Amino acid sequence: MKIGLSKRNLLLSASVAAVLWIGTYFAPLLAVTPTHVMLTQTANPAAEQTVIWHTGPLSKGSKVEFAEAEGGAVQSIAGTEKEVQTERGTIVVHTAQLTGLKASTPYRYQVGDGVFWSESHIFTTASAQTKSFRFLLFGDSQSYTYELWQEVLHAAYARNPQASFMVNIGDLVDVGLDYGQWDGWFQAGKGVIDSIPVAAVMGNHETYTPQGKIALPDYFDAFFSSPGNGPEGLKKRVYSFDYGDAHFSVLDSQRQEEEAWLPQMLAWQQSWLERDLAATNKRWKLVFIHRPLYHNRPSLDSDADLRAAFGPILDRYGVDVAFAGHDHVYARSYPIQGGRWSEAPGDGVVYITVGRSGTKTFARAQPKEWDAAFHNPTAQPNYLAVDVSDTELVVQNFAADGTGLDSWTKRQGER
């Protein structure tokens, strides 16, 4: 039987579409040219930089070539390789630590195996005597597809090219054990995450499987590097670093998801956070956690475990701001001390839930009595720009289109 032209064209189109889908789906496994190049935060950003990238298992070798961007001898260092089993097969995550860098210096770099190389990228090291800097802070970027996250991230960076690094507050993706989700997240970040370091916070969605079950966040652990100074069993998810005159402490709030494997995770973090904050002499102390200690959901006490575990420690060591996500709204509390809030400036910790940078919104969220400012970004996503200097801390909330939504300043001595 002869197949008509229209039916033949239909079959041909379907065949081409199938080949394209298969090629896209399995592209990570076939890749020998590096993909998903990313910088992550280090303990000494004036002299070090961590670089991470992905290839398929056919790529052999792990190298970074780098030089001062304005001219200098090319250096080459070897990285490490780790195979990660995904639902699409095996991928290889490469990690390299660049050390002995000059402060306040732009560097050009590319990664590869010695034969196949990435395109060239540029980063700039921190100043050895940083007095002031800006970083970008993004709420949950979890989405079904990551075009919107790409728009928000790139718009924020275009308006703030001086940003030293960025923080994502958790729930980076919707299904944390789905490599396709991470592939979309990394693709969307290209052009930003390879230029400024990323400090990532672990969220509950990082533990979700495509089958709707809970598992340890193996992909998150594999894809991000941290200074490695957290408690045993949580080093990838709990860590701290200094930048300028600020100390950054990152916590893991996901007790409900992880306690089957790590029943003492809150106790371990309490001990670690106590030591971490006691050891710093930095002027500003900033804490980052996915679930907020003071939430904006209709329920009354859903975060009581976190308040009991961490609230007294934040009070005791004079933490200035605790940033969180999870509720997909922007909310800034009055200063809170001992569970009580006051309109007096500087009298306690300010808790800020940073909003959302992905597609998901929560219409049921509501302002609470402890909120000095509240905005539910249902119309468009938002992001924060945070300025730190030796005299003041300034947090600004912007809609994705650049419209200012809130601004808060804390000056030195206001405590």
The angle that helices 265-279 and 304-316 make with each other, rounded to 10 degrees, is 20
**Whether the predicted pLDDT of 67 surpasses 90:** yes
pLDDT at 204: 96
- Residues 334, 386: one domain? yes
- Residue 19 pLDDT level (bands cut at 50, 70, 90): very low
- Residues 214, 295: one domain? yes
**Whether the predicted pLDDT of 18 surpasses 90:** no
Q: Is residue 11 a part of any domain in this protein?
A: no
- Residue 223 pLDDT level (bands cut at 50, 70, 90): very high
Q: How many domains does the chain have?
A: 2
The residue from 67, 93, 124 where one domain ends is 124
Two tokens at 411? 């000056």
Helix, strand, coil percentages in the chain from 3-state DSSP, rounded to 5: 20, 30, 45
pLDDT at 206: 97
- Residues 381, 232: one domain? yes
- Residues 286, 406: one domain? yes
Q: What does the pLDDT look like over 363-404, one tens digit per residue? A: 888 999 999 999 999 999 999 999 999 999 999 999 999 999
Q: Is residue 109 a part of any domain in this protein?
A: yes
- Residues 179, 116: one domain? no
Q: Which residue has the higher pLDDT, 177 or 21?
A: 177
- Residues 148, 295: one domain? yes
Q: Is residue 24 a part of any domain in this protein?
A: no
Q: Is residue 195 a part of any domain in this protein?
A: yes
* CA separation, residue 336 to residues 284, 393, 412 (Å): 17, 17, 18
What number is the average pLDDT over the span 42-48?
93
What number is the average pLDDT over the span 171-186?
96
pLDDT at 29: 52
Helix (H, G, I), strand (E, B) or coil at 271: helix
The residue from 124, 155, 171 where one domain ends is 124
What number is the average pLDDT over the span 59-70?
92
Structural domain for 340, as ranges: 133-411
Q: Cα–Cα distance between 92 and 113 in angstroms, integer?
A: 12
CATH number at residue 104: 2.60.40.380
Q: Is residue 19 a part of any domain in this protein?
A: no
**Whether the predicted pLDDT of 153 surpasses 60:** yes
Q: What does the pLDDT look like over 25-41, one tens digit per residue? A: 555 555 678 999 999 99
Q: Cα–Cα distance between 272 and 251 in angstroms, integer?
A: 10
pLDDT at 302: 72
Q: What does the pLDDT look like over 253-293, one tens digit per residue? A: 999 999 999 999 999 999 999 999 999 999 999 999 999 99
**Whether the predicted pLDDT of 104 surpasses 60:** yes
pLDDT at 301: 67
- Residues 188, 276: one domain? yes
- Residues 108, 179: one domain? no
* CA separation, residue 3 to residues 13, 18, 183 (Å): 14, 20, 39
**Whether the predicted pLDDT of 20 surpasses 60:** no
Average pLDDT, the chain: 90
- Residues 166, 253: one domain? yes
Q: In three state form, how does the secondary structure of 50-109 look?
A: EEEEEECCCCCCCEEEEEECCCCCCEEEECEEEEEEECCEEEEEEEEEECCCCCCCEEEE
What number is the average pLDDT over the span 94-116?
95
75-78 and 63-68 as β-strands: parallel, antiparallel, unpaired? Answer: antiparallel
pLDDT at 106: 97
CATH number at residue 162: 3.60.21.10
Q: Is residue 10 a part of any domain in this protein?
A: no
pLDDT above 90 covers a percentage of the chain that reads: 80
Q: Which residue has the higher pLDDT, 220 or 60?
A: 220
- This prediction's pTM: 0.90
**Whether the predicted pLDDT of 297 surpasses 90:** no
The residue from 97, 124, 151 where one domain ends is 124
- Residues 39, 69: one domain? yes
- Residues 169, 110: one domain? no
pLDDT at 183: 96
Q: Find the DSSP H helices in 252-408.
A: 255-258, 265-279, 304-316
Q: Is residue 290 a part of any domain in this protein?
A: yes
Q: Is residue 402 a part of any domain in this protein?
A: yes
pLDDT above 70 covers a percentage of the chain that reads: 91
- Residues 291, 143: one domain? yes
